[in-house]
Structure formats: structure tokens, C-alpha cells
Amino acid sequence: MSLGFLDLKLIRNLKVFGLRNLVEAELAGLDRINVLHGENGAGKTSFLEAINILGVAKTFRGSKNASLISNGMDFCSVTGVLSPVSWRPRETVLGVKRKASGGLNIKLGGRVLSSVTDLLGIIPVQVLNADSFQLLSGEPGIRRRYLDWGVFHVEQRFFPAWRQFQRCLKQRNSLLKSGTMPTSEFDTWTEELAELGEAVSAYRQAYFFRLAQYFSDVLSRIAPDITGLEAAFFPGWDRGVKLIEALMACRNTDISRGFTQVGPQRADLKLTWEGRPASDTLSRGQQKLVVCSLKLAQGCLQVDSFPGEAVYLIDDLPSELDPSNLAMICHFLADLDGQVFITSVLPRTLQKAFPDKVPLTMFHVEQGRAASLSDTIN
């Protein structure tokens, strides 16, 4: 995918219309590290949500358009002015408009983008919020989506293979559910599923090998006390056999249950500490550090693979972290090749946690509006 604008990473200005309590709001003069502070319910998280919509055309809250759009309005829109870090005159405008009826419009530099796929990668977002804990405690599909989001951004062959695999899996499962399976047709889908599944899994495995190294490095910097944590990739079938062999071995059980039991659709990323699931053994604060490491590692790997900027959306960063751990994360964020948006009800706590001389662009959010005050820590 090449749109010619993928180097336009830094969001300089953000305008939001009709998104929850952001009826008409703006963040002007954005820089690398931006802090949105204010009382609960002021609209801080809605601004993060707006940036996420600008990056992936949907909210991270899982809401439908009707609940996303402000009362009495037919649509919501998010518009961002993007520019390279070093060449500000070259700016372009990215806009996403969601309609209450379900319609979607995306424009980049005045040009209409035909699909959400064309949008992905322009502003590669990493979201860290309360739901991110599901990376440790949630069902495997959450970790697969995390893994696939990373693979998508560093391996251009992955998405076509993944899409074909999903189509093939749907066809095979449809035959299994029907109870009437012409042997030749079923075998054809099984063989194609195995071939595509091996490719999808190989891309995931290669990505995980690199991700694990980044994850270990980040964790050692922001949580040096957490040692012995292990991450492992499970492809979705026994590693000792090829996928076609695993599918054939499960054929009768697949028929009786009506779905395909092995393959990349059952893959998982497993994190253990002292031989037990990390979600069962680590404290809530330690879990947040691990989740932060996973998200930051993915963003760093992405930037190193394709030079540009990642955008980190971090909701209520100080919560559940002691001052020492918060400071280590903030020092790491200060060194990142990326743009950071942090929300908090404790702005002074964040200011103290960042290194001296690091400029923070501060916004006070109240009743769906933001007032800017650039603050450099001395």
C-alpha cells in the first residue's frame, strides 16, 4: 500500500465535530507529548477516541455510530492536519466522517479513500486504556488481534494471505455445518486452508520472534523488577506436524462439531510468570507495566521497520502505578520516535514524572472543550 503520504505522521491540529460530548472542539498546536487533563467526564477520553477514529475509522470503545454521535446530530467527523516532523510546510489534511445511518467517508489531501484498509498505516495508533488488560486476562482472540495489528504494519504480504484464509475457513466451516460435504469439494477447501494457514502462521511467527526481543527490552527499562516473564506464540495446532496433517487428524471431530478446530484461528500469545499465567500471578500494577511494554514494543518495532511515527493514546496513565514506575514509563515515552497523547486527572503528577527540560503540551479539558497551555518543565 503506497499513498504517498505515509511520512506525514505528526498530528499538528485536530478538529472534532459531533463526537459524544465534543460537539465542536479543537486541539491546536499539538506536539510530540501532549497531556489532556481535567475532571472525570470532561471529554479527555473522547479526544483519544477521536484520534483513534482518525487512524482506524472506528472507536476503541466498541460503540455503534448511534451512541458515538452527539445527541441530535446525524454524523460525527474528525479532521487532522498532518505534517512531517522536520518539514512543517508540507502539511496535508486527513478527515473521517461517520454517519448515524452507518455511512463512512474518508479523505486524505482532498482525495477520497475507497476503503478503511487504505487509511490504516497513515496514523498507526497504539491504544493503552483499561481494556488493554484484556491482553493478559481476555480470550485468545484479543491477543490474536494485537498480534495481527503488528504483523499488518510490518509485513505487506500478511493481510492478503489472512483475508484469503478467512474466506477459506468460512467456506470449510459452512460445509461442516451443512452436514452434506462432497468429498472432493471439502478436500479442496481443506488443502487450500492448510496452505494459507501455514503462510499466515509463518508471518505471525516471524513477527513474534522480533516482537519478543523488543518486548524484553522495553520491559527491562520500565519494569526492571519483573524478571522471568516468558512470552510464547502458539500457532493453533501441534508444532510437531504440518497443518494439513492436523486438519486430517481432526476431520471426524470437525464433522461432528461443525467447525474447524485447529489452525491460525486458534492461535494465541501466552505470557507466563514462574510457569503460571501472568494474569493470575502479577499484581494489577505489574500487569499494567506488562501491557504497556507490549504496546510500546509493538510501536517501536513498527517504527524501526518502516521509518515514520507511531501515535500512542494512553488513557489515565498514572492510575495503578507508583511514582517510580510512572517515572520510568514517562522517561521511555520522552525518548520515543512517536507522538504521545496522555489523559489524566493529575497533571502535576505527570509533569514531575517526565525528565527535566522535556516540553509537554498541556490541554485543560472541561465540558467538551480544550484550552491549551504549553509547559516546559524546568
328 with 345, same domain? yes
Same domain assignment for residues 355 and 272: no
The predicted-structure confidence for 217-243, as pLDDT tens digits, reads as follows 999 999 999 999 999 999 999 999 999
pLDDT beyond 80 at 7: no
Which CATH number characterizes residue 118's domain? 3.40.50.300
- The reported pLDDT for the residue numbered 247 is 97
Mean pLDDT over 302-322 rounds to 90
Residue 372 has pLDDT above 50, yes or no: yes
Asked whether the predicted pLDDT for residue 285 surpasses 60, the reply is yes
What pLDDT band is residue 305 in, cutting at 50, 70 and 90? confident
Q: Specify whether 78 is located in the same domain as 118.
A: yes
Claim to verify: residue 34 and residue 108 sit in the same structural domain: yes
> Which residue, 263, 289, 306, sits at the end of a domain?
306
Nearest to 360 by CA among 33, 9, 16, 21: 33
- Number of folded domains in the chain? 2
163 and 271 co-located in one domain: yes
Using DSSP, state whether 15 is helix, strand or coil.
Answer: strand
- 197 and 291 in a single domain? The answer is yes
Given a cut of 50, whether residue 20 has pLDDT beyond it is yes
Average pLDDT value for residue range 51-61: 93
What CATH number is associated with residue 201? 1.20.1050.90
- Residue 179's domain comprises 133-306
Q: Check whether residue 75 and residue 198 sit in a common domain.
A: no
Task: Tell me: do 258 and 337 sit in the same domain.
Answer: no
Provide the b/e sequence for 271-298 (b: ≥16 CB within 10 Å): bbbeeeebbeebeeebbbbbbbbbbbbb
Do 58 and 169 share a domain, yes or no?
no
Pair (201, 322) in one structural domain: no
Query: Is the predicted pLDDT of residue 2 greater than 50, yes or no?
Result: no
The model's pLDDT over 115-157, given as tens digits with 9 standing for 90+, comes to 999 898 888 899 999 999 999 999 999 999 999 999 999 999 9
